[in-house]
Structure 1
Amino acid sequence: MLKLADSLLANYQKPEDLIGENGLLKQLTKMLVERALEVEMTGHLGHDKSGEVTNGTANTRNGYSSKTLKGDFGALPLDVPRDRQGTFEPQIVVKHQTRWTGFDDKIISLYARGLSVREIQSHLEEMYGTEVSPTLISNVTDAVSEDVKLWQARPLDAVYPIL
């Protein structure tokens, strides 16, 4: 495992080579997610790409669909395998998913710090190099705004212990 890491890092010159827009981590993430999707498809169909169809349904692979996920690493284009009957439901990246888990948490964190929708949009674009629509930000913040209002209106205790 260490030899593999050493060979991957052989051309590492600066931090951007590792964590930049086209850095090693983004490439590895893409490779691992796409491989996991292939393994899920093999499990779903009961045979690998070159294997004999033994699932009784004659369901086989049917190319790929493109998907772009937004997350801490920016925008990540993925090729998601498809099956002929359209019954494949991937688990690692579910259908219609456009953001990695945790991305919404970042939006909520910025909102909690008092940033406006436009400021959040600008910050996410600056940090991750991906454009996020104001509608998406509003939808995420609206989903938690009721909880925030309830928390802000909660009754306060008369005394709070200080440690």
Structure 2
Amino acid sequence: MTEMIESMDSLTTEQQELAAELVAKARAEGVELTRPNGLLTGLTKQVLETALETELAEHVGYDKHDPAGRNGANSRNGTRTKTVTTDIGPVAIEVPRDRDGSVDPQIVRKRQRRLQGVNEMVLSLTARGLTTGEVSAHFAETSPVPGSARTPSRAGL
């Protein structure tokens, strides 16, 4: 956890300005930062769902809505709602499923309900501007999730 906090302290001036701009925009629009449906909750939800979608795409071998997945041995099978408790409170996420139930997500494991350190990751990713190169570096430094080098770019980060 301290590794993530230390990495946030080492943000460049540009990254700090981007984070300040995001917070200022949220406040101007009347969006709370840490309340349910607030800025951090929304960002956390988006990052977790994108990471889960990427893990499933790597598992089944094709991206969502890709015709290559039709009539395959294993395919996508919708989503299920799951509420996880984070440092800022509960976050409802949509967890993608596969038909035979063989996917073993790493970012939010099966039956896992409590996440720690996710908010630091979300703030850091947001402050870094979500460019592929920066996210790849951050992902490699802080994530316990094994994955290919393409994982951050496949996640759209």
CA distance in 2, matches of 1:55, 1:70: 35
Residue of 76, 83, 87 corresponding to 2:91: 76
Structure 2 gaps, min length 5: 1-13, 118-157
For the residue of structure 2 that corresponds to 1:21, the secondary structure is: coil
One-letter code aligned to 2:66: G
CA distance in 2, matches of 1:16, 1:10: 8
Which residue does the alignment assign to 1:58? Answer: 73
Q: 1:62, 1:84 within 8 Å by CA — same for their partners in 2? A: yes
TM-score (norm 1): 0.53
Where does residue 37 of structure 2 map in the other structure?
22
Query: How many residue pairs are counted as aligned between the two chains?
Result: 102
**The residue matched to 2:33 in structure 1 has which SS?**
helix
Match of 1:42 in 2: 57
**Equivalent pair of 2:26/2:33 in contact (CA under 8 Å):** no
Check conservation: 1:18, 1:24, Cα contact below 8 A. Answer: yes
Question: Distance between the aligned counterparts of 1:21 and 1:90, measured in 2?
Answer: 25
8 Å contact kept, 2:87–2:116: no
Tell me how far apart the structure 1 counterparts of residues 78 and 69 of structure 2 sit (CA, whole Å). 19
Rg (Cα) greater in structure: 1
Distance 1:72 1:16, change over 3 A: farther
Please list, as runs of the form range in 1=range in 2, the aligned pairs for 1:1-163 lying within 5 A after superposition.
Answer: 6=21, 9-13=24-28, 17-53=32-68, 57-101=72-116
Q: How far, CA to CA, are the matches of 1:14 and 1:49 in structure 2? A: 32
CA contact (8 A) 1:46 1:55 kept: no
Higher RCO, Cα 8 Å, sep 6+ = 2
1:19 to 1:79, Cα distance in 2 relative to 1, 3 A: same
Question: Runs of 4+ in structure 1 displaced over 6 angstroms?
Answer: 1-4
Unaligned runs of 5+ in 1: 103-163
> What's the Cα RMSD here?
3.1
Query: Alignment identity in percent?
Result: 41
CA–CA separation in structure 2 for the residues paired with 1:52 and 1:41:
16
